[in-house]
Amino acid sequence: MFGLDRKDLTLFLVVVALALFAPFLLNPFPSDSGLAQFNAGYPDLMQRFVIFGIFAIGFNILFGLTGYLSFGHAAFLGVGSYAGVWMMKLLTMNVIPAIIISVIFAGLLSALIGWISLRRSGIYFSILTLAFAQMCYALAYSVLTPITGGETGLQLNLDDPRIIGASQTAEGNIPVPHLFGLEMNQTWQLGMGGWEFTFSAGYYLAAVVMLVSFYLAIRLFRSPFGMMLRAVKSNQQRMNYTGLNSRPYTLAAFVISGMYAGLAGGLMVAMDPLAGAERMIWTASGEVVLMTILGGAGTLIGPVLGAGLIKYLENILSKINKGVLEQWFAVMPDGIDTFLVTIVYPFIGKGWHLTLGIIFMLVVIFLPGGLVEGAQRIGKLFRRTRKPAATDDPEHHPKPQPHVGE
Amino acid sequence: MGILEVKDVNKNFGGLKALSDVNLSVRENSVHAIIGPNGAGKSTLLNCLVGKLIPDTGSVMFDGQSVLGRKPHEINQMGISRVFQTPEIFGDLTVFENVMIPCFASRDGAFRMHAYEHTRHETDIVSMAEQMLADVKMLEKRDIHAASLSRGDKRRLEMAMCLVQRPRLLLLDEPTAGMSRADTNNTIELLREIRDKRDITMAIIEHDMHVVFSLAERITVLAQGTPLVEDTPENIKGHPKVQEAYLGEAA
Ligand SMILES: Nc1ncnc2c1ncn2[C@@H]1O[C@H](COP(=O)(O)OP(=O)(O)OP(=O)(O)O)[C@@H](O)[C@H]1O
Ligand SMILES: [Mg+2]
């Protein structure tokens, strides 16, 4: 079905289910319980999960398949954001044109940067992309202020010359981005017992776009083109002597992943119509590298998992403060509680980077294939413990019954 | 006129004269062996044919067209495939994918944006690759990673990758090095079969004289970058210059 193998189809359907039911799945704790702060099912964060998921899926097409490690992908996300905001300023508050123009601009910029950077490989390629991204950042921050808004960033104003639609609403406010009238910040609440679930129009738009991107990525991975990209990573020399020109392949992969980044940038604007130069800074480029490696470079689902984990830590861990810790450990005897608070404190709040660093270190050392490899190992453990029971002692089980569902 | 014409080729590495005034003519649909002691410049000569190196002087013509200044993938698209001295395969890919890639290169050219179709649904490519793997008796290894093959199997795979392209000129750099006696004989058998069935020209570098004398119609002896003699296998066997430069050294 959908032109996918059974295994890929299963994976895709699981991701569809996760994305559609995320408002439930990410809110496992009743809203008045002490654990409610671990709930991630609010629109703002869920949107970030899927948007950064798209960013990482695209990055993985370049890095995971061809092995070319770009340190400048945030530039494409940033350009996409600026283009999207301009579309809303000039044309319409409908998000579709904004998203399309984001993808186009990111594609153009990545074609230019890729065309130059791909003349080198390895560390030189990485440095070139980093240099270009930092140049874009510097330009956006200073020289291009009329276009980018410089330090303050680019925002909508009350006097934007919007061709389709009004500059301001009847109440004199800036209009809200919408999809053919459906406003992106619209939400519906559902209360069930102690639980509160929020469904947001913006999240569902982003989730559907993510699912489409994910589907296209699976198709690409399984296509001849995807195989050629893996050939680039494996042995470029053999590829060239086999009659294939590796340059256009790497450039196409670079542009596609740049367009994914632009799509993510456009969606950010659709959720919240502003853009700033900080989206292009090198730490933002580094973050998507971490997401991809953490989840599992070259795997289909890994980048999405990595993006989710990092965004979860960033938003949940960083909100825990000393007061919350003291509450948790209050049940402990005196002395021990202050001790525990002192130990844990560096890892939360602003210190969440420390936690991320440790997790990253552990994954790279013990699970070079990322979270996906971890999941595979756990899966294998289960299979290994089940198998011997089925195969040992054939004498006593002349006709082993197949497991239900196998 | 041969299909491959090498004229007055010189190649220096720093002060080292790797090739000096090499002339070579390979007749179409023949098997031409190039032999010579280690460091004679045999691999360097092949490198000049496939665009890995550019000779300092001289010309290399394939089927009336110069190959010099062309990129490796362009030279391959002209109809020249090469098996390297140390196997060059796609180690991270499966054996089957290794064979499919050259099929795509032959069918679709140097680049094709082909990102939506499932590889498995390319039935013509799949059956071509399966047939090739069956020919080299590696079909049962189709799903293992090429990097985990034995050295002999890697060579066999690389040969399959070249043969499946149906090249007009096949360059083989020590195709049986590292193979068992049985595998060597299989390889000889395979190359013979292909030589008899298809229109193909082969230039083969080999240290194993059994392979050379089983396949070659003409032999060029290279020593210290210069061709000493070119003749039929029968005449080469007893040639005094060859004894001196090559067989004499080995004995
Ligand atoms: N890229 C290079 N740079 C410098 N010297 C080289 C290079 N390639 C080959 N040489 C030198 O050129 C000479 C010829 O090397 P070549 O590999 O062509 O020999 P060969 O006949 O293939 O030997 P073998 O039988 O050992 O494979 C050697 O002395 C080698 O060291
Ligand atoms: Mg050699």
Domain shared by A321 and A278, yes or no: no
What gap in Å lies between CA A159 and CA B90, rounded to an integer? Answer: 58
The reported pLDDT for the residue numbered B251 is: 41
The reported pLDDT for the residue numbered A393 is: 40
- Contact between A242 and B72 (Cβ < 8 Å): no
**A180 is a domain residue:** yes
Domain shared by A233 and A330, yes or no: no
The reported pLDDT for the residue numbered A319 is: 85
Mean pLDDT of chain A: 90
Domain shared by A145 and A281, yes or no: yes
Average pLDDT of the residues in A226-230: 97
Q: Is the pLDDT of residue A404 over 50?
A: no
Interchain pair B119, A233: CB under 8 A? no
What gap in Å lies between CA A252 and CA B117, rounded to an integer? Answer: 16
Domain shared by A292 and A320, yes or no: no
Angstrom CA distances, A263 to A64, A90, B183, stand at 19, 19, 53
Domain that holds residue A239: 6-298
- Contact between A137 and A281 (Cβ < 8 Å): yes
**A76 is a domain residue:** yes
What gap in Å lies between CA A377 and CA A364, rounded to an integer? Answer: 15
**Contacting residues for B224 by C-beta, under 8 A, at least 6 apart:** B17, B39, B40, B41
The domains of chain B are located at 1-79+167-251, 93-164
Domain shared by A97 and A207, yes or no: yes
Question: What does the pLDDT look like over B58-101, one tens digit per residue?
Answer: 999 999 999 999 999 999 999 999 999 999 999 999 999 999 99
Average pLDDT of the residues in B43-68: 94
**pLDDT > 90: percent of chain B:** 76
Domain shared by A142 and A227, yes or no: yes
Quote the minimal CA–CA distance from B188 to chain A in Å: 23
**A404 is a domain residue:** no
Interchain pair B93, A231: CB under 8 A? yes
Domain count along chain A: 2
Report residue B241's pLDDT band, with 50, 70 and 90 as the boundaries. Answer: confident
| Cα dihedral sign, A160-A161-A164-A168 | positive
Residue of chain A with shortest Cα separation from B82: A241
Domain shared by A10 and A96, yes or no: yes
ipTM of this predicted complex?
0.93
Domain shared by A17 and A166, yes or no: yes
Tell me how many residue pairs between chain A and chain B have CB atoms under 8 A apart. 107
The single residue listed with the structure tokens 């009350």 is A158
Domain shared by A255 and A353, yes or no: no
Report residue A388's pLDDT band, with 50, 70 and 90 as the boundaries. Answer: low
Residue of chain B with shortest Cα separation from A66: B92
**A31 is a domain residue:** yes
Tokens of A375: 């999941």
Considering A233, A267, A298, which residue would you say is the last residue of a domain?
A: A298
Using DSSP, state whether A284 is helix, strand or coil.
Answer: helix
Domain shared by A265 and A375, yes or no: no
Q: Is the pLDDT of residue A29 over 70?
A: yes
The reported pLDDT for the residue numbered B246 is: 60
The reported pLDDT for the residue numbered A386 is: 63
Q: What is the pTM of this model?
A: 0.92
Using DSSP, state whether B35 is helix, strand or coil.
Answer: strand
Nearest to B178 by CA among B141, B151, B207, B216: B151
**A386 is a domain residue:** no
What gap in Å lies between CA A75 and CA B83, rounded to an integer? Answer: 42
Ligand 1 touching residue B12 (CB < 6 A): no
**A399 is a domain residue:** no
Nearest to B96 by CA among B143, B137, B136: B143
Q: Is the pLDDT of residue A398 over 50?
A: no
**A303 is a domain residue:** no
**A406 is a domain residue:** no
Nearest to A296 by CA among A57, A17, A130: A57
Domain shared by A200 and A52, yes or no: yes
Q: Which of A4, A225, A242 sits opposite B105 (nearest CB)?
A: A242
Instruction: Look at ligand 1, atom 31, and give the residue with the nearest C-alpha.
Output: B39
Q: Which CATH architecture has domain B1-79+167-251?
A: 3-Layer(aba) Sandwich (3.40)
β-pairing verdict for B16-26 and B65-66: unpaired
Interchain pair B93, A245: CB under 8 A? no
Residue spans of alpha helices (H) in chain B: 42-50, 72-78, 95-108, 123-135, 151-163, 181-197, 209-215, 233-238, 240-242, 248-250
